[in-house]
Amino acid sequence: MPRRRGPSARPFARGALAALLVAAGVSHLTWGRRGYRIVVPDWATRMLRTDADAIVVASGMAEVLLGVGLVALPRERRRIGTAVAAFFVAVFPGNVHQWRTGRAAPGLRTDRARFVRLFLQLPLVAWAWWSTRR
């Protein structure tokens, strides 16, 4: 007799990831906006030819849109999951910059917290990839 499978953990993981992205995006657009501006690397503003505030706002909007897309567009979940994973890779240099410069941001006030944050990026990428594959 074939084994019955219970409900998959992927939909729950995808929903949790969507909630995390929306919450992070809202924080970038509201209460945390000023704190996040100070950790944007100078090279990023030069490369993108804009200011730190625009980068913080754009990343916040991207997080909200990606989070909403994970829930609202189930047929596109693989593509959106790939975009989320790419987003997590794209912001990693900023996390490294923040750790190296010791700049505080909301929730990351100590060197230890900033260092530990670096190691969370790979699980975030894996979470985005795994939760959107089926």
pLDDT in tens, the chain (134 residues): 565 565 689 999 999 999 999 999 999 999 999 989 988 999 999 999 999 999 999 999 999 999 999 999 999 999 999 999 999 999 999 899 999 999 888 888 899 999 999 999 999 999 999 999 97
Number of domains composing the chain: 1
Domain presence at residue 5:
no
**Crossing angle between the packed helical segments 111-131 and 9-29, to the nearest 10 degrees:** 130
Domain-located, residue 117: yes
Domain range holding 53? 10-131
User: Would residue 41 count as lying in a domain?
Assistant: yes
Runs of H (alpha helix) within the chain:
9-29, 33-37, 42-48, 52-72, 77-101, 111-131
For every residue of 94-121, DSSP letters joined together read: HHHHHHHHT--BTTB-SHHHHHHHHHHH
| The predicted structure's pLDDT at residue 4 | 57
127 part of a folded domain: yes
* Residue 2 domain-assigned (yes or no): no
What is the spatial distance between Cα 115 and Cα 100, in angstroms, rounded to a whole number? 9
Q: Is residue 35 part of a domain?
A: yes
Distance CA 55, CA 21 (A): 16
